[in-house]
Amino acid sequence: MVVSCEEVWREISNYLDGEVEPTLRVAIQEHIRGCKRCTAVLDGTRNVLQLYGDERMLEVPLGFSQRLHQRLGENMPGNRRSFLGWMVAAAAACLVVGSFEVARSSAFRGPQLRSEHAQPGTGVPPDMMVVVSEGGKLFHAAGCPFIHKKTKLRMITAAEASRQGYSPCVRCMKKYLVATAS
Amino acid sequence: MPERVTSLERPADQFNEEMLIRRVRDGEHELFYDLIRPYERRVYAAALAILRNEADAEDVAQEAVLKAFKHIRQFRAESRFSTWLIQITVNEARMRRRKAHANIMEPIADRQDEEGNYTPRDFADWREIPSEERNEVRQRLAEALAELGQIYREVFVLRDMQHLSIEETAKALGISTASVKTRLLRARLMLRDLLAPGLGGAWSMTGK
């Protein structure tokens, strides 16, 4: 199967989401390998996802949490016990959150796998964009209910996730892993 | 240490959250602060991306959280709390926007045929993201995002910033999954063009 540049551009979004069927995916991969324009489109689109998908980018105005909790407090049925509670929370929320790197994700942990029960994701499309969390051990498809919501999420390629020691979530990555089960 | 699961169906996280919601409903209102804390930044980010104005975004974020509190009994456990919360935020933001911008023209992008294919304009090599000051990066990303038509920006914010699934995005916006995919493709390619170095876009290439 051979694809044209136009077809690649039409499918590039699905490709990055791991949503194209295997024959087409291979055809796209082959085409990109030999095409500078489409390589540029792929790289650029992937960069867009990495940049915007990084929750360390999310910033709230100073005092946001405080004001929010104050507003909530005004609307809570006759209840002032939480004053200390929200002040502590507000103080924590105002702390500057770590350093931010655009070109490389922080804390490269080396290739050792983080989870004892890891399975190398050989069936997972390497270019597929996946979600990882700081301190987590797995990489997920966006929207997987098993993503740790409470830590900061970012988007990287599956290949990069593997390199950083993340393992595929057996639930949302199931369809890729089944193909390579021994 | 492997991730803990409390049952075959749900992760520990979600289980604890369901407990929290139940207790808030049963009258322990203060627990609502704990319930929303992990989502505060995302609620603000969603509002900001749609409204492009910090003051409005904060207002809408507060309104959305308040609404969620007031309607907590209407939340149904089939969907995720985070999706429900973001859905409320999107609706509040849209209502605010409709009021304020009744007469302003939409960017050209919205008027194009949604079915038409989008042709990328730039093919400069962009293998590495240039590293810059955090605020500068954030500013440029915000500017590029603001240039998208509303329908593309909404899909992109939910899918690629809030990390919702295609189905959740479709549900939150009241559109089909096919529309989500079409709009997402266009949003991603347009942002790429807006940020690509070759066209003298937001970044200049460093050292090349």
Residue of chain B minimizing CA distance to A16: B185
B53-76 average pLDDT score:
94
Q: For residue B121, what pLDDT band results from cuts at 50, 70 and 90?
A: low
Euclidean distance between CA atoms A164 and A101, whole angstroms:
16
Q: For residue A161, what pLDDT band results from cuts at 50, 70 and 90?
A: very high
Size (chain B), residues: 208
pLDDT single digits (tens) A114-149: 555 555 456 899 999 999 988 788 999 998 888 876
Which domains does chain B possess?
12-100 (1.10.1740.10), 108-199 (1.10.10.10)
Residue of chain A minimizing CA distance to B115: A10
pLDDT of A36 > 50? The answer is: yes
Give contacts of B78 with chain A, Cβ < 8 Å: none
Q: For residue B125, what pLDDT band results from cuts at 50, 70 and 90?
A: low
pLDDT of A153 > 60? The answer is: yes
pLDDT of A160 > 70? The answer is: yes
**What's chain B's average pLDDT?**
80
Q: In sequence order, which residues have a C-beta less than 8 Å from that of residue A102 and are 6 or more positions away?
A: A51, B129, B130, B131, B132, B134, B137
Q: For residue B11, what pLDDT band results from cuts at 50, 70 and 90?
A: low
Helix (H, G, I), strand (E, B) or coil at A110: coil
**How many CA within 13 A on the CB side of residue A8?**
24
- The lowest-confidence range among A41-45, B7-11, B25-29, B146-150 is B7-11
* Cα pseudo-dihedral B156, B162, B164, B170, rounded to 10: -40
In one-letter notation, the amino acid at residue A22 is P
pLDDT of A57 > 90? The answer is: no
Beta bridge partners of A157: A129
Q: In sequence order, which residues have a C-beta less than 8 Å from that of residue A74 and are 6 or more positions away?
A: none
Tokens matching residue B49: 């991306």
Q: In sequence order, which residues have a C-beta less than 8 Å from that of residue A181 and are 6 or more positions away?
A: none
Overall domain count for chain A: 3
Is B97 within 8 Å of B50 (Cβ atoms)? yes
Contact assignment for B2 to A10 by CB distance below 8 Å: no
Q: Is some CB atom of chain B closer than 8 A to the CB atom of A14?
A: yes
**Pair A81, A33 in one domain:** no
Nearest to A72 among B66, B164, B184 (CB): B66
- Which residues between 102 and 141 in chain B have a beta carbon less than 8 angstroms from any beta carbon of chain A? 117-120, 122-132, 134, 137-138, 141
Q: Which residue has the higher pLDDT, B136 or B116?
A: B136
**Pair A66, A143 in one domain:** no
**Pair A108, A139 in one domain:** yes
Give contacts of B117 with chain A, Cβ < 8 Å: 6, 9-10
**Pair A107, A176 in one domain:** yes
Q: Which domain holds residue A149?
A: 101-182
In one-letter notation, the amino acid at residue B27 is G
Tokens matching residue A39: 């390589």
Euclidean distance between CA atoms A131 and A129, whole angstroms:
7
Residue B112, number of CB atoms within 10 A of its CB: 12
**Pair A85, A116 in one domain:** no
Q: What is the pTM of this model?
A: 0.74
Tokens matching residue B146: 């603001």
A44-73 average pLDDT score:
89
Phi, psi (degrees; rounded to nearest 5) at A28: -65, -45
- Give the rounded percent of residues in chain B with a pLDDT score beyond 90: 44
**Pair A75, A152 in one domain:** no
Structure confidence at residue B195 (pLDDT): 87
pLDDT single digits (tens) A87-114: 555 555 544 343 333 333 344 333 455 5
**Pair A87, A105 in one domain:** no
Contact assignment for B3 to A44 by CB distance below 8 Å: no
Chains A, B: CB pairs < 8 Å? 182
**Pair A106, A180 in one domain:** yes
Torsion A75-B172-B183-A144 (CA) sign: positive
- Give the E-state strand segments of chain A in sequence order: 129-133, 138-139, 153-157, 167-168
Q: For residue B59, what pLDDT band results from cuts at 50, 70 and 90?
A: very high
pLDDT single digits (tens) B156-187: 999 999 888 999 899 888 899 999 999 999 99
**Pair A125, A180 in one domain:** yes
**Pair A177, A109 in one domain:** yes
Structure confidence at residue B52 (pLDDT): 82
**Pair A44, A82 in one domain:** no
